[in-house]
Copies of this chain bind each other. A is one copy, B any other.
Amino acid sequence: MVPRRSFTIDTEKTTRTIYVLGTELTVNLNRNAPPQSKFFSIKCSPNVHYKITPQARDRNADSYPLTPNAVLIVTMDAVSKTANDSKLSVRYFGEKTEALGDALLHLTAVEISLDVDADRDGIVEKNNPNKGSWKWGPNGHGAILLVNCDSETTNKKTLDSEVEEIRKVSDLQDMSKMILRTNGPAELPEGYKLTMHISQTTSENVRVFRPRTNNNAFWSLYKNKLLKLFLKDYIMVVGTDMLTQKVPYLGGKTELEFFVEGLRFPDKDFDGLITINLSLLEPCGKGFPETPVFTDKVVFHISPWIMTPNTLKPVEVYVCSTDDNHSFLKSIRNLVEKCGYKLKICYEYMNRGDRWMQDELEFGYIDSPHHQFPVVLDSPRDGDLQDFPYESILGPDFGYVTRHALNEEVSSLDSFGNLEVSPPVTVNGKSYPLGRIIIGVAFPTATSGRNMTQVVQDFLWAQKVQAPIALYSDWLVVGHVDEFMTFVPAPDRKKFRLLLASPDAGYKVFKSLQNNGHGNAEMFPGLPEAISVNEILSDKKLQAGNRYVQNCIDWNRDVLKKELGLDDEDIIDLPILFQVLEEKKGARAVAYYPDMVNMIVLGDQLGIPKPFGPKVNGRCALETEVRSLLEPLGLKCTFIDDFAPYHKLLGEVHCGSNVLREASPFKWWNLEL
């Protein structure tokens, strides 16, 4: 719809105004007509066009009857060379042919367009008709904004979004370009001005910068790209405590570049949408404020924080070095080097003995058509590793975000071993090309009260593009979903399998061993914990506990089947037994032997906790079983001894590592939400 502006002309004095190309001036011809006016005629410069509604029949060659609702609609098709260079006049007549008065209008035509990359191709196109709204999907539209949550500096770090100025020219890369395109006379008629404005709420979420333009020589060099701008050459236009500010009109055909910086991720109280307005204000005479005569607006959506499933290509593996994990570290290094990925070790001065690299942080990324970078989500867990994400990961083009628990207790369920994401799935026709986030909560029995903090849950749900699923993980002592499930790539079906820990599958292996005459073979061979297959199978308490555990996992299995659209054929049960411990707040489970589902997935290479199962012909029966389940999918199993430094402390390989992965090739704005 063409923007229309109601306008009044006057027979008592000449009216002057600016006309913005692409709009319509609607003049109520009756409003200021001289009394007794019955007819009118119109004259105008050749570049001024008009029509009259309701459509009027001429009285003679060039005059029309002045009906009660007569409206003149004025348009122009080219910008003015000088101020007020176009004219229109209305002559009013009574019943006779002598004129009752002339209303003169002097027009200055300009072109004004606040532009963004609304078609999401990385280029700021001119005046996209959809720039003022935002729509999801491949046929959607609307510009994209990144939260400037990295740090251009590595010394004395702060998030760039927490600093009111631009700190390095490279920081502009993290912002979205917005261009004010104007065309018209060298100067606007006196008293007119352009202002950019945002709402109070928006000012918490965005800042807009532009190059300083206070010097014509400077500006001319800049326009001709003969000048490199320095930090001091950029100023903030709108942002915190600055809701509106004048922006320069530079004359002729000009493009003034703005840089838009996102400050906040979508959250429970912020849908991620940001509107920026530009108005042309008209002077109303001495002593009166200006009034707006034209407003243009653009809408951005902040990129959500997006997690990366196990099926995406690894970039770098993170692991802690402690005084007791030397051989584990060596195994991980071997595996990672074999795969050709980078290994990043967090040393003890930083980790202070906290080895749970999985739990302190989650890697994700933010994405826009013009730029993309990884962002670490720092858990409210805050163990001794708590400084690592900020101190060692945050940096240029590596963002950081965290949520602090307020008036809530942080529990073990807030560790990010309890935050995973599925590969892409389609569920009852609804597609989740970025997968679905998976967390563990106390639901549905909920008496104990351990839960993931609401601030983190709110954050995850607000990102929208990986609609979370809440599983029931509070039945575990540690309480993390990665204790009973993971995803591995597969060549067929949905291109992945869900692996679930299964006590039933575990007992099946042990019963089969007994049945085949290996009842005396020892679990944990050579370790102080050694125990025979027969002894394990005769432990009624262990059995009862595992029945309970299987029930808990089966509940989650049913939820995952439903929410990820999985068939039984998409799921592989790994033979893992649990042990139920009596705790103050009730019975909870831990893995009885190294929990093989708690693996690191690096492409087709799996680093699996070495289970120390009973040996048959010198081979671990549990490893054999797991290989037989996974190798047909083209997966390579490396069993890693994590017994002393991880398993005995209630974690395994996955808990002790983290993987930075490539971003998905799927663009989040192409989702149909």
Q: Enumerate chain A interface residues (CB-CB to B < 8 A).
A: 1, 3-8, 26, 28, 30-36, 69, 71, 195, 197, 199-201, 243-244, 268-269, 277, 279, 281-282, 284-285, 287-293, 295, 428, 443-447, 449, 451, 454, 472, 475, 502, 504-505, 507-508, 511-512, 515-516, 544-545, 547-548, 550-552, 554-555, 557-558, 561-562, 568-569, 573, 580, 582, 586-587
Q: Which residues of chain B are near A475, meaning CB under 8 Å?
A: 289, 291
16 of the cross-chain contacts (CB-CB < 8 Å) are: A3-B562, A6-B557, A8-B554, A26-B568, A32-B507, A34-B511, A34-B515, A69-B568, A201-B454, A244-B446, A285-B547, A287-B544, A287-B582, A290-B445, A292-B445, A292-B472
Among B1, B8, B547, B548, which residue has its beta carbon within 8 angstroms of that of A504? Answer: B8
A407 to chain B, nearest CB (A): 11
Q: Given A454-B201, A547-B285, check contact A444 B554 (CB 8 Å).
A: no
Compute how far the CA of A28 lies from the CA of B553 in the bound complex, rounded to whole angstroms. 14
B443 touches A197 (CB 8 A): yes
**Chain B positions within 8 Å of A580 at CB level:** 287-288
A32-B504, A195-B445, A446-B244 as given contacts; A5 in contact with B554, CB under 8 Å: yes
CB distance from A515 to the nearest CB of B (A): 4
Contact of A443 among B31, B199, B551, B561 (CB under 8 A): B199
Which residue in chain B gives the minimum CB-CB distance to A200?
Answer: B454
- In angstroms, Cα B11 to Cα A511, docked, is 12
Instruction: List 6 additional A-B contacts (Cβ < 8 Å) besides A284-B548, A284-B551, A291-B445.
Output: A28-B568, A30-B508, A32-B507, A287-B587, A288-B544, A291-B555
What's the minimum C-beta distance from A507 to chain B, rounded to whole angstroms?
Answer: 7
Contacts of A6 in B (CB 8 A): 554, 557-558
Min Cβ gap A60→B in Å is 26
Cα-based distance from A562 to B548 in the complex (angstroms): 63
* Smallest CB gap from A504: residue in B: B31
List the B residue with the shortest CB-CB distance to A267: B269
CB of A291 within 8 A of CB of B551, answer: yes
Please state if B444 and A548 are interface contacts (CB–CB under 8 Å).
no
Determine whether the beta carbon of B569 is less than 8 Å from that of A446: no
**Shortest Cβ distance from residue A257 to the other chain B in the assembled complex, whole angstroms:** 23
Distance (whole angstroms) from the CB of A312 to the closest CB of chain B? 29
* CB neighbours of A8 from chain B (8 A): 504, 547, 550, 554
Shortest distance between the CB of A463 and any CB in chain B (Å): 16
Q: Closest CB of chain B to A9's CB: distance in Å?
A: 10
* A197, A243, A548 pick with most chain B CB within 10 angstroms: A548
A244 touches B554 (CB 8 A): no
In the complex, residue of chain B having the shortest beta-carbon distance to the beta carbon of A288: B548
Minimum CB–CB distance from A547 to chain B (whole Å) comes to 7
Complex contact A289–B445 (CB within 8 A):
yes
Give the docked Cα–Cα distance between A109 and B656 (Å): 46
Which residues on the B side are within 8 Å of A69 (C-beta)? Answer: 568-569
**Contacts known (A36-B515, A289-B587); A561 close to B4, Cβ less than 8 A:** yes
Contacts of A554 in B (CB 8 A): 5-8
Q: Could you tell me if A587 and B1 are in contact, using CB atoms closer than 8 angstroms?
A: no
Q: Assess the A586–B289 pair: CB atoms within 8 A.
A: yes
Closest to A512 in B: B35
A7 to B568 alpha-carbon distance, docked (Å) = 13
| Contact yes or no, B284 A444, CB < 8 A | no
Residues of B contacting A199 with CB < 8 Å?
Answer: 443
CA distance A287 to B548 in the complex (A): 10
Collect the chain B residues with CB atoms within 8 Å of residue A504's CB.
8, 28, 31-32
Nearest chain B residue, comparing its CB with the CB of A585: B289
User: In whole angstroms, what is the CA distance A502 to B548 when docked?
Assistant: 77
- Closest B residue to A279 by beta carbon equals B444
CB distance B291 to A552 under 8 Å? yes
Which residue of the partner chain B has the closest CB to A271? B268
CB distance from A628 to the nearest CB of B (A): 11
Do A568 and B289 touch (CB < 8 A)? Answer: no
Contact check: which of B197, B449, B552, B561 meets A444 at CB < 8 Å?
Answer: B197
Interface pairs A-B: 4 shortest CB-CB: A35-B515, A284-B548, A291-B551, A6-B554
Cβ contact within 8 Å between B544 and A279: no
CA distance A494 to B243 in the complex (A): 37
In the complex, A573→B516 CA distance in Å?
97
Contacts of A4 in B (CB 8 A): 558, 561-562
Residues in B with CB closer than 8 Å to A269 are: 268-269
CA distance A293 to B444 in the complex (A): 10
Q: Which residues of the other chain, B, contact A547 by a CB distance below 8 angstroms?
A: 8, 284-285
Task: Give A281 to B475 CA distance when docked, in angstroms.
Answer: 14
CA distance A282 to B33 in the complex (A): 85
> What is the chain B residue whose CB lies nearest that of A70?
B568
Which residues of B are found within 8 Å of A201, using beta-carbon distances?
Answer: 454
User: What distance in Å separates the Cβ of A607 from its nearest Cβ neighbour in chain B?
Assistant: 27
Residues of B within 8 A of A443 (CB): 197, 199, 277
Q: Contacts A201-B454, A508-B32: A279 and B445 contacting too (C-beta < 8 A)?
A: yes
Given contacts A32-B504, A287-B582, contact A444 B544 (CB under 8 A): no
Q: Which of B35, B195, B447, B511 contacts A244 (CB 8 A)?
A: B447
Q: Across the interface, name the chain B residue whose C-beta is closest to A448.
A: B289
